[in-house]
Homo-oligomer: A and B are copies of this chain.
Amino acid sequence: ALLMLVNAHFTPKLLAGKRVLITAGATLEMIDPVRGITNLSSGKMGYAIAQAASDMGADVTLVSGITALNPIANAANIKAESAQAMYEAVMSNIMNQDVFIAVAAVADYRPVTQQHEKIKKSTSSLTLELTPNKDILADVASLPNAPFCVGFAAETENLLEYAETKRKAKKLPLIVANLAKEALGSEENSVTLIDKNGAHPIQRASKTEVAKLLLQHIAHML
Contact = CB atoms under 8 A, between A and B. Distances in A.
Nearest to A132: B123
A222 interface: no
B125 A132 contact: yes
Contacts of A161: none
Contacts of A128: 127-130
A44 to B, nearest CB: 13
B156 A34 contact: yes
Contact of A40 (B34, B117, B129, B184): B34
Interface in A16-52: 28, 31-41
Most B C-beta atoms less than 10 A away, residue of A116, A128, A162: A128
Interface string A113-128: 0001111111111111
Most B C-beta atoms less than 10 A away, residue of A38, A108, A135: A38
A124 B130 contact: no
A209 interface: no
Interface residues of A, number: 44
B33 A36 contact: no
Contacts of A34: 39-41, 105, 154, 156, 180, 184
A195 interface: no
A68 interface: yes
A116 B155 CA distance: 12
B132 A112 contact: no
Interface of A: 28, 31-41, 68, 105, 107-109, 112, 116-132, 135, 154-157, 162, 180-181, 184
19 contacts: A28-B38, A31-B37, A34-B180, A35-B37, A36-B39, A36-B40, A37-B38, A109-B125, A109-B126, A112-B125, A116-B156, A118-B157, A123-B132, A125-B130, A125-B132, A126-B129, A126-B132, A127-B130, A128-B128
Given A116-B156, A125-B130, 16 more contacts: A33-B156, A33-B181, A34-B105, A34-B156, A35-B37, A35-B38, A36-B39, A109-B121, A117-B157, A118-B154, A118-B156, A121-B132, A125-B129, A125-B132, A128-B129, A128-B130
